[in-house]
């Protein structure tokens, strides 16, 4: 009788643990889904590659450039940068659409299966698809920074880097922190080194 009672208790204990474990897995998957949905709403393919179109008037105000010829030079540099970025956006619209469709499909599959554990891998695949565009955007960014560093005072250039960093963080705060870790360092050589070879190919 005692043996039978012991077996019943053991079976009951095992059953309760199995239920608890299943609930825990369900809660974890749900939390992953909630976190992913919150992030997905904020991230767009164009943001993922760091695309920014600068407003010339705002830039001039932020870095406190008021007089010619410096004002003309800065305005021209910003305008040229915006034109190149606009070309990248136009030429690569199919890739942006492909990434959007891919992530949407994976998100819907994860919702259907209630398993968001695969979304990290999907994000990595999306980043690989966008890598060539990201390199060209980075090249244009470094080219602009090199031009402005030559023309601006040290104080003005620091103000520019600070503004640029704030604009990048608006795109994707988590991703923007890493490439901007060294933005406060006034190193023209590093910008040229990063840009070498990135933008020589056609869009």
Please check whether residue 94 lies inside any domain of the structure.
Answer: yes
Please check whether residue 151 lies inside any domain of the structure.
Answer: yes
Q: Tell me the pLDDT of the chain (203 aa) as tens digits.
A: 555 655 666 665 566 555 555 555 545 545 555 554 444 454 589 999 999 999 999 999 999 998 889 999 999 999 999 999 999 999 999 999 999 999 888 888 888 878 777 788 888 999 999 999 999 999 999 999 999 999 999 999 999 999 999 999 988 655 444 444 444 444 444 444 444 333 333 34
Please check whether residue 121 lies inside any domain of the structure.
Answer: yes
Measured from the Cβ of residue 89, the count of other Cβ atoms closer than 10 Å reads: 17
DSSP class per residue in the chain: -HHHHHHHHHHHHHHHHHHHHHHHHHHHHHHHHHHHHHHHTT--HHHHTT-----HHHHHHHHT--STTHHHHHHHHHHHHHHHHHHHHHHTHHHHHHHHHHHHHHHHHHHHHT--TTHHHHHHHHHHHHHHHHHHHHHHHHHHHHHHHHHS-HHHHHHHHHHHHHHHHHH-HHHHHTTTTTTTS--HHHHHHHHTTTSSS--
Q: For residue 116, what pLDDT is reported? A: 76
Please check whether residue 139 lies inside any domain of the structure.
Answer: yes
Q: Which structural domain range is residue 81 located in?
A: 42-195
Q: For residue 156, what pLDDT is reported? A: 96
CB proximity list for 152: less than 8 A, separation 6 or greater: 63, 65, 70, 74, 160
Please check whether residue 10 lies inside any domain of the structure.
Answer: no
Q: For residue 177, what pLDDT is reported? A: 43
Domain count, the chain: 1
Please check whether residue 2 lies inside any domain of the structure.
Answer: no
State the pTM of this model: 0.64
Q: For residue 191, what pLDDT is reported? A: 43
Measured from the Cβ of residue 149, the count of other Cβ atoms closer than 10 Å reads: 17
Q: CB of 80 within 8 A of CB of 53?
A: no
Q: For residue 174, what pLDDT is reported? A: 57
Tokens of 127: 């980043």
Q: For residue 202, what pLDDT is reported? A: 39
Please check whether residue 95 lies inside any domain of the structure.
Answer: yes
Please check whether residue 35 lies inside any domain of the structure.
Answer: no
Q: CB of 203 within 8 A of CB of 49?
A: no
């Amino acid at each position: 009788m005692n043996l039978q009672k012991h077996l019943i208790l053991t079976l009951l204990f095992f059953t309760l643990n199995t239920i608890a474990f299943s609930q825990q897995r369900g809660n974890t998957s749900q939390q992953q889904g909630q976190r992913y949905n919150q992030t997905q709403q904020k991230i767009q393919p164009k943001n993922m590659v760091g695309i920014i179109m600068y407003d010339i008037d705002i830039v001039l105000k932020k870095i406190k450039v008021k007089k010619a010829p410096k004002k003309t030079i800065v305005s021209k540099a910003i305008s040229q940068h915006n034109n190149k970025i606009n070309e990248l956006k136009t030429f690569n619209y199919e890739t942006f659409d492909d990434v959007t469709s891919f992530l949407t499909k994976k998100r819907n599959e994860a919702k259907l299966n209630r398993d968001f554990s695969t979304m990290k891998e999907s994000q990595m695949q999306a980043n690989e698809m966008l890598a060539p565009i990201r390199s060209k955007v980075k090249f244009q960014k470094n080219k602009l920074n090199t031009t402005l560093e030559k023309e601006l005072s040290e104080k003005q250039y620091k103000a520019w880097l600070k503004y640029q960093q704030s604009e990048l963080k608006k795109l994707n705060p988590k991703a923007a922190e890493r490439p901007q870790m060294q933005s406060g360092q006034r190193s023209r050589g590093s910008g040229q080194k990063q840009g070498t070879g990135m933008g020589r190919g056609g869009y």
